[in-house]
Amino acid sequence: MSDQFQIAGQAYQSRLIVGTGKYQDFAQTRAAVDASGAEIITVAIRRVNIGQDASQPSLLEYLPPSEFTYLPNTAGCYNATDAVRTLRLARELLDGHKLVKLEVLGDANTLYPNVRETLIAVETLVKEGFDVMVYTSDDPIAAKELEDIGCCAIMPLASLIGSGMGILNPWNLRLIIESAKVPVLVDAGVGTASDAAIAMELGCDGILMNTAIAGAKDPILMARAMKLAVMAGRDAFLAGRIPRKLYTADPSSPISGLIAAK
């Protein structure tokens, strides 16, 4: 059965995108990414630490751009100007790379997206030829607007970034999925494998996560669990779940031919 996952015209085997932050060291990052099976990894853009030991390894040495699709993000940006500037630098840094994750935050406590600034940034980035995967609220109207402007993937939060609270509003996610013509990925809020499976069973095309893996007691094992959960959830979505029957049982075995029948 062909079940292709495509982002901006590129096909991927894995529907799990992972972040590379919060790990103990680069070796652990690499091991977790490998266990997750992810082909797309997110990275942040930050100032060079001038004066540090030049022989120190860098993330790019452990996770070479030749092996993975990089998804530079705008984490920490609170307005469209900063986000666009960050992604222009990312494009230069990664030799003209176009696929980016836009997130424009609205509040330092909740890290909730500022949709107004996000829309402004998308307008510019799309005009400049970026392929924008956009982090947004779980608002179906905002999601549609972002798609109409030209985002290549819509990434609503399941719950707050790093909260591990899981899928708080499955109904809104369904509304977004049903109307979207581009991939919809849950970005933020996944806490454990069952959350990932639920998101996929809802019909999400993929999931982006970082803390749920990096923050686990055993990140490598959790990465594997997430890989399997995303695959299981996708299969379950395609297979089609049985309808829920409130207060009505439905036996699996034949009801005729019972030996005790009179």
Partner 1 sequence: MQISINGEAREFTAPLSLLDLIDLLELKGKRIAIEQNGEIVPKSQHATSLLSEGDVLEMVVAVGGG
Provide the annotated binding site for 1-deoxy-D-xylulose 5-phosphate: 162, 188-189, 210-211
134-149 as b/e, with b when 16 or more CB fall inside 10 Å?
Answer: bbbbbbbebbbbbbeb
CB atoms within 10 A of CB 16: 26
- Shortest Cβ 229–partner 1 spacing (Å): 18
> Which phi and psi (to 5°) does residue 6 adopt?
-125, 135
Q: How many residues lie near partner 1 (CB under 8 A)?
A: 37
Angle between helices 26-36 and 219-239 (to 10 degrees): 20
Residue from 118, 136, 137, 210 in contact with partner 1 (CB under 8 A): 210
Question: Are 202 and 167 contacting, i.e. CB atoms less than 8 angstroms apart?
Answer: yes
- Which of the ranges 2-10, 68-76, 149-157, 171-179 carries the binding residues for partner 1, by CB under 8 A? 68-76
The answer to whether 220 contacts partner 1 (rule: CB under 8 A) is no
The answer to whether 108 contacts partner 1 (rule: CB under 8 A) is no
Q: How many CA atoms lie within 13 A of 87 on its CB side?
A: 31
144 sits in which H/E element: helix 140-149
Looking at the Cβ atoms of 133 and 209, the one nearer to partner 1 is 209
Give residue for tokens 């982006």.
208
Residue 101: active-site member: yes
The answer to whether 160 contacts partner 1 (rule: CB under 8 A) is no
Looking at the Cβ atoms of 42 and 114, the one nearer to partner 1 is 42
Tell me the C-alpha distance between 116 and 113, whole Å: 9
Looking at the Cβ atoms of 16 and 175, the one nearer to partner 1 is 16
Tell me the C-alpha distance between 44 and 30, whole Å: 16
Looking at the Cβ atoms of 204 and 213, the one nearer to partner 1 is 213
The answer to whether 206 contacts partner 1 (rule: CB under 8 A) is no
Residue from 16, 29, 130, 163 in contact with partner 1 (CB under 8 A): 29
The DSSP secondary-structure symbol of 98 reads -
User: In residues, how long is the chain?
Assistant: 262
The answer to whether 136 contacts partner 1 (rule: CB under 8 A) is no
Residue from 22, 98, 144, 174 in contact with partner 1 (CB under 8 A): 22
**Which sequence positions are flagged as catalytic?**
101
Q: Interface with partner 1 by CB under 8 A: which residues?
A: 18-23, 26, 29, 42-48, 50-51, 54, 58-60, 70, 72-73, 75, 85, 88-90, 92-94, 208-211, 214
